[in-house]
A and B are shown apart, each in its own frame.
Chain A
Amino acid sequence: MRKEQDLIKLKKKAIALRKDILKMLYLAGSGHPGGSLSLVEIMTCLFYYEINYKAKEPKWEKRDKVILSKGHGCPALYAILSDRGYFKREELWTLRQLGSKLQGHPSIDCPGVEISSGSLGQGLSISNGMALANKMDKNEARVYCIIGDGEMNEGQIWEGAMTASHYSLENVCLIVDHNKLQIDGPCCDIKDMEILSEKLQSFGFEVIQADGHDFSSLIEAFNKARTIKNKPQAIIANTIKGAGISFMENKVEWHGVAPNKEQYEKGIEELEAAFKILKEKNEKV
């Protein structure tokens, strides 16, 4: 039963993070809810299950690195970093303000942020450089690079994919936040990537499908990825843009606007209701 309880714990954490994300965006008055909310389980799973790190020693040499290439999803990164103790929770409420560590798009001046990003397409190449350096140094740490599916329109992603494969970077794990929406509409209407798994496979990746909002599925995917030798892995995390807030889910309009007061309160209400259900479930097991 232990395992079931662990999963419930993670789910509760995800709800708490969603509440933080919503509050950050509401207070900031701008930002990207859709692509932040779709990342929540991925981030939670990475920082509560998958990676080795020391929050009090952010530059620890043996750490695994999480590279958020889709920088606009940073509220999800900030929420988990503060939750794990990289910086004080109060700082979350300074998002996007002058002088804040929490820039509108991530900057390495914020503890725990590994790269500055926001111009899409650049994270995989950087991850490869880190992975090559790790190999040179006989450092076993892994690099997890999170990209968006719309971001995959960028040619540099595919340049990086060829590099990861050419250099057999088994220490690179690409995670695609496959929420099927970008800014101007559904990915398949803007620039159809057809069968993403086959594309990535043909670029030399071991492709692993996962439900990006299901912890068991994500854990299984990470476990499998770690066993792959001599090639990079791509976890296609099937997600929902705006996940967890009913009126934001699968709505392209929620890519880049912050909730107003009413929407914020409604969102929090929904999350609290979901939390209550989980709590009751937890008491039963």
Chain B
Amino acid sequence: MTQKKMISTRDGFGKGLVELGRKNKNIVVLSADLTDSTRAGWFQKEFPERLFNLGVAEQDMIGTAAGFALSGKIPFACSFGVFASGRAWDQIRVSAAYMNLNVKIAGTHGGISVGPDGATHQAIEEIALMRILPNMKVIVPCDAIEAQKATIKAAETQGPVYLRLGRSGSPVITTEKEEFVIGKANVLKKGKDVAIFACGHMVYESLLAWEELQKQGISATVINLHTIKPLDSAAIIRAAKETGAIVSVEEHTLAGGVGSAIAEVMIQKHPVIMKMVGVKDRFGESGDPEALYKFFGLTAKDIVKAAKQAVKEKIKR
């Protein structure tokens, strides 16, 4: 693949927020002492009167956001993914999701690619934590451009939304003109042997894997599953029928995450062989992102291995 521009999805989010702020005066942004890191600071620069810092108090931030939402505003509550989701989970459950409020949560620093900060700062459970909540929508953009679109769409859609964003620069693989619809997966490559579903940075790794698989004579479908909830069940069933083998890839713990969500649909509607690439029931570690991807088995190479295994088992059946 040709050299891609590296931009983080949090940067895409930051741009999206500013764009929203210009369009809609009801957009307010809440932060919990991580204003610059979450890129809420870009919004603050242009709209200081609409940025509310709650201090290091994520539970209070979600509650305050709920109050704003109940008063007709569209609040974006921003923090690191671990704190934005887990620390305030009951507040998200009762004060946001139960009332189906327009609370938008931006969890930056998602995944292990947070890097050197290590396990306490690496959110690898939040997709599971958020998707089990009724009314909640969960979006994991694959690059900065998609993150910007997702931010705009999150504001336009009614109800709570969780945006999972990354800290590190990630290759830009989509373009402005590509369609982004919440709940509609984007098919990037069409093949017949195996279907790879990925979100976030793992979409790029899956595209690399696709190249390698092609060299080895395996034709793969690659699907950017940017919305984990509502899940594009039709895309999953279609891929299962067309290829008979599925690989899920996520920078997240395997329990309850993207692979689980796919399996829940697939197993009931059209069971096929499936392999799951993700973090295996453990916490993160310090390191630089590249090294961590390798250590945790989240590279193109790992995806190729899983895909080949899936194809092999399919044939044996």
How far, in angstroms, from A211 to B60 measured CA to CA in the complex?
30
A132 CB contacts on chain B under 8 angstroms: 52, 64, 67-68
Known A-B contacts A125-B62, A162-B55; the reply to A156 vs B91 at CB < 8 A is yes
Contact (Cβ within 8 A) A126 B66: yes
A-B contact pairs, 22 of them (CB 8 A): A116-B95, A118-B94, A119-B90, A119-B93, A122-B63, A124-B63, A125-B63, A128-B67, A129-B63, A129-B64, A129-B69, A129-B75, A130-B70, A132-B64, A133-B68, A133-B73, A136-B28, A136-B49, A159-B54, A159-B55, A162-B55, A163-B57
Contact bitstring A166-182, B, C-beta under 8 A = 1, else 0:
11000000000000000
Known A-B contacts A115-B70, A116-B99; the reply to A128 vs B59 at CB < 8 A is no
Give B306 Cβ to nearest chain A Cβ, in Å: 40
How far, in angstroms, from A30 to B243 measured CA to CA in the complex?
55
Give A125 Cβ to nearest chain B Cβ, in Å: 2
Known A-B contacts A122-B91, A156-B60; the reply to A163 vs B54 at CB < 8 A is yes
* Interface residues on chain B, number (Cβ under 8 Å): 30
How far, in angstroms, from A166 to B66 measured CA to CA in the complex?
18
Asked whether B98 is an interface residue with its Cβ less than 8 Å from the other chain, the reply is yes
Asked whether B268 is an interface residue with its Cβ less than 8 Å from the other chain, the reply is no
Known A-B contacts A116-B94, A116-B99; the reply to A156 vs B67 at CB < 8 A is no
How far, in angstroms, from A101 to B91 measured CA to CA in the complex?
22
Q: Which residues of B contact A (CB under 8 A)?
A: 28, 49-50, 52, 54-55, 57, 59-73, 75, 90-91, 93-95, 98-99
6 additional contacts, CB 8 Å, given A119-B93, A159-B54?
A: A108-B99, A122-B91, A125-B59, A136-B49, A156-B60, A163-B57
Contact (Cβ within 8 A) B71 A125: no
Asked whether A117 is an interface residue with its Cβ less than 8 Å from the other chain, the reply is yes
Name which of B60, B68, B99 has the most chain A CB atoms within 10 A of its CB.
B60
B60 CB contacts on chain A under 8 angstroms: 125, 128, 156, 159-160, 162-163
Partner of A117, one of B61, B62, B94: B94
Q: Interface on chain A toward B: helix, strand, loop, or mixed SS?
A: helix
Name which of B28, B55, B67, B69 has the most chain A CB atoms within 10 A of its CB.
B67
A114 CB contacts on chain B under 8 angstroms: 70
How far, in angstroms, from A108 to B28 measured CA to CA in the complex?
23
Contact bitstring A131-147, B, C-beta under 8 A = 1, else 0:
11110110000000000
Interface size class of A (residues with CB under 8 A): 20 to 34
A155 CB contacts on chain B under 8 angstroms: 59
B99 CB contacts on chain A under 8 angstroms: 108, 115-116
Partner of B59, one of A127, A159, A162: A159
How far, in angstroms, from A124 to B69 measured CA to CA in the complex?
15
Known A-B contacts A156-B60, A159-B54, A163-B57; the reply to A125 vs B72 at CB < 8 A is no
Q: Which residues of A contact B (CB under 8 A)?
A: 107-108, 114-119, 121-134, 136-137, 155-156, 159-160, 162-163, 166-167
Contact (Cβ within 8 A) A129 B91: no
A119 CB contacts on chain B under 8 angstroms: 90, 93-94
Known A-B contacts A119-B90, A125-B95, A132-B52; the reply to A160 vs B63 at CB < 8 A is yes
Contact (Cβ within 8 A) A126 B63: yes
Please give me the residue from chain B that is nearest to A156 by CB atom: B59
Give A89 Cβ to nearest chain B Cβ, in Å: 26
B64 CB contacts on chain A under 8 angstroms: 125-126, 128-129, 132, 160, 163
Q: Which 8 A-B pairs have the closest CB atoms?
A: A129-B67, A125-B63, A133-B71, A159-B60, A159-B57, A129-B64, A126-B67, A130-B67
Contact (Cβ within 8 A) B59 A133: no
Give A160 Cβ to nearest chain B Cβ, in Å: 5
How far, in angstroms, from A116 to B99 measured CA to CA in the complex?
7
B54 CB contacts on chain A under 8 angstroms: 159, 163
Known A-B contacts A117-B94, A119-B90, A122-B94; the reply to A162 vs B67 at CB < 8 A is no
B67 CB contacts on chain A under 8 angstroms: 125-133
A116 CB contacts on chain B under 8 angstroms: 94-95, 98-99
Contact (Cβ within 8 A) B94 A129: no
B57 CB contacts on chain A under 8 angstroms: 156, 159, 162-163
A131 CB contacts on chain B under 8 angstroms: 67
Give B251 Cβ to nearest chain A Cβ, in Å: 30
Give A132 Cβ to nearest chain B Cβ, in Å: 7
Contact (Cβ within 8 A) B95 A134: no
Contact (Cβ within 8 A) B63 A156: yes
How far, in angstroms, from A117 to B69 measured CA to CA in the complex?
16
How far, in angstroms, from A134 to B91 measured CA to CA in the complex?
22
Contact (Cβ within 8 A) A129 B59: no
Partner of B68, one of A108, A129, A163: A129
How far, in angstroms, from A123 to B64 measured CA to CA in the complex?
9
How far, in angstroms, from A132 to B63 measured CA to CA in the complex?
12
Give A144 Cβ to nearest chain B Cβ, in Å: 13
Contact (Cβ within 8 A) B90 A129: no
A163 CB contacts on chain B under 8 angstroms: 54-55, 57, 60, 64
How far, in angstroms, from A94 to B269 measured CA to CA in the complex?
40
How far, in angstroms, from A115 to B101 measured CA to CA in the complex?
11
B70 CB contacts on chain A under 8 angstroms: 114-115, 126, 129-130
A156 CB contacts on chain B under 8 angstroms: 57, 59-60, 63, 91
Give B39 Cβ to nearest chain A Cβ, in Å: 22
Please give me the residue from chain A that is nearest to B94 by CB atom: A119
